[in-house]
Structure 1
Amino acid sequence: MYNSPLQVGGPAAARPDVTRRRLLHAMMLVTVALALPALPPNAFAAPLSVDQKPTLLRVARDIYPHEGFLDDAPYQAVIDAILLEAENSPVVADLLRKGLADLEQRSQRIYKTSYIAIPRPEEREGVLRSIELTDFFQKIKGGLLMGLYNNKALWPKFGYDGSSWETGGFIDKDFDKIDWF
């Protein structure tokens, strides 16, 4: 009689016991092993340290300085949104970590102190100008641009009444009323 491989005690008995569960587990392990090298090197790194957050706030205030009439709250809201994005994106977190490290390194090299300890705004501006083409600077600047100037709650502080096309455009007497520019 023909000996089928599915018969008990036949050649099939020598094969390992492959179940669907074991196959799925093995496929998952292979997928994870192949995906790990594709992650950024610090994908599991700690978030920004507590002492780096005031530096981000100082950078934000130095990029768009409105010392006379804006408090820290609108700036902090933008920084918090960027930090929240960094929590969910290893790429953004890495960008912030490396950008802050570069900023601090330049501050130490030029002024022998941390960025936040540089006393004169003009000196801090000089350090920022040295990084203004970096992705880090552009990330912060872009967040501030939208977070400050596209925030309708802040428009009155800037002397901006909002869109004028609905009411026929600017009236000449009100056009030049912005005094902070």
Structure 2
Amino acid sequence: MKKQNLSRRSFLKKGTMTAAGAVAIALSGISISPSAWAMTLTTLDHKTGKSLSALCRVLYPHKQLTDVYYDACVEGLDANAKNDPALLKLLNEGVQTLNSHSQNNFLALSAEQQLLVVKKIEGSPFFNQVRSHIVVALYNNDKIWSLFGYEGPSFPYGGYLERGFDDIDWLPNH
């Protein structure tokens, strides 16, 4: 390997070129497609993860959210199940129950059919566990707040009195 001396001038030149390239890419609108996201699971298998993601969408349906956000919630469940064998068993058996109510393929059902299947397991420990995890994991994700018109917490900005308690425009006027 050839040793290369890097002068201050060449370092600054290369750094400037790298920064300019990054800005050019950002301004061109090139981004990673949401469909390029791959759910990373360490404990659950992929089909179970996708079934849980579909369940999350049934529980908290939002047309403006891509599967990326639901998949991220399932990654949290997967991380929790890694150290909790009882949770892992509950998740695996719960997905098996979903599949048993849908000719062994919950994922192949339409959204309306999935909702009917989910209503059959409503109130079960599996349903309650997934629902209670997802409501927090999904709505605490600050990346989706703007999609709902939520400006975020007011406390860091002095509270609603300092920031404007009536500046929201997404609630209907009564």
> TM-score normalized by structure 2?
0.64
Give the AA of the match of 1:98. Answer: E
Deviation at 1:147, TM superposition (A): 1.1
Hey, what does 2:91 align to over in structure 1? 96
> What aligned pairs does 1:8-19 form with structure 2 within 5 A after superposition?
none
Structure 1 length normalisation: TM-score? Answer: 0.62
Q: Any gaps of 5 or more consecutive residues in structure 2? A: 1-42
**Rg larger in structure:** 1
Greater mean deviation of Cα atoms: 160-169 or 56-65: 160-169
Q: What is the match of residue 60 of structure 2?
A: 64
Give unmatched runs, 5+ long, in structure 1.
1-46
Quick one: distance in 1 between partners of 2:170 and 2:79? 38
1:1-80 aligned within 5 A: 47-67=43-63, 69-80=64-75
Instruction: Give the share of equivalent positions with the same residue, in percent.
Output: 32
Size of the aligned set, in residue pairs, is 125
Cross-structure match for 1:19: none
Which residue of structure 2 aligns with residue 118 of structure 1?
A: 109
Within a 5 Å distance, the mapping from 1:84-163 to structure 2 comes to 84-108=79-103, 114-119=105-110, 121-163=111-153
One-letter amino acid of the structure 2 residue matched with residue 129 of structure 1? K
Which one-letter code corresponds to 1:146 in the other structure?
Answer: V
Q: AA paired with 2:131?
A: K
Query: Does the C-alpha gap of structure 1 residues 96 and 167 become closer, same or farther in structure 2, counting only changes over 3 Å?
Result: same
RMSD: 2.1
Q: Is the 8 A contact 1:74 1:147 kept in 2?
A: no
